[in-house]
Amino acid sequence: MDLQILRTVPSMRQFRSTLPGPVSLIPTMGMLHSGHMSLVKLAAHQTSSIIVSIYANPAQLRTSEDHTAYPSTLEEDVALLQDLGQELLNEGLGRLCGIFVPTNEAMYPYPQYTDIANGVGCFVTIAPLAALLEGADQPTHFIGVATVCLKLFNVVQPHKAYFGEKDYQQALLIRRLVDDLLLDIDVVVGDTIREEDGLPISSRNVYLGKRRRRVAVVLHRALSAAEDLYRKGTSTKQDLISASVSVAEEEQRLQENMKICDRVRFEVVYFQIFHHETMKELEKVDPVIGAVLSGAIRMMPLESIAVGEPLGWREDTDVIRLIDNVRLGPIGHQY
Ligand code: AMP
Q: pLDDT tens across 178-217, in order?
A: 999 999 999 999 999 999 999 999 998 999 999 999 999 9
Q: How far apart are CA 269 and CA 264, in angstroms?
A: 16
Closest atom of ligand 1 relative to the 30 alpha carbon: 2
Closest C-alpha to ligand 1, atom 10 = 163
pTM: 0.95
Q: How far is the CA of 260 from the centre of ligand 1 (A)?
A: 33
Q: From 24, 26, 28, 195, give the residue whose CB has the most ligand 1 atoms within 8 Å, as the site to mutate.
A: 28
Answer yes or no: is pLDDT of 30 > 90. yes
Closest C-alpha to ligand 1, atom 15 = 35
Q: How far is the CA of 10 from the centre of ligand 1 (A)?
A: 27
Closest C-alpha to ligand 1, atom 18 = 35
- Residue 115 is predicted with a pLDDT of 87
Q: How many residues does the chain have?
A: 335
Question: What pairs with residue 6 in β-bridges?
Answer: 100
Tell how many helices (H) and how many strands (E) occur in the chain.
10, 9
- Residue 315 is predicted with a pLDDT of 85
Closest atom of ligand 1 relative to the 203 alpha carbon: 3
Rounded to an integer, the average pLDDT of 126-154 is 95
Q: How far is the CA of 85 from the centre of ligand 1 (A)?
A: 18
Q: Is 294 in the pocket of ligand 1 (CB under 6 A)?
A: no
- Residue 283 is predicted with a pLDDT of 98
> In which band, very low, low, confident or very high, does the pLDDT at 335 lie, cut at 50, 70 and 90?
very low
Q: Which residues contact 250 (CB under 8 A, 6 or more apart)?
A: none
Q: How far apart are CA 249 and CA 308, in angstroms?
A: 30
- Characterize the bridge pairing of strands 23-28 and 160-164: parallel
Which sequence positions are flagged as catalytic? 36
Q: Is 193 in the pocket of ligand 1 (CB under 6 A)?
A: yes
Rounded to an integer, the average pLDDT of 238-257 is 98
Tally Cβ neighbours within 10 Å of residue 115: 13
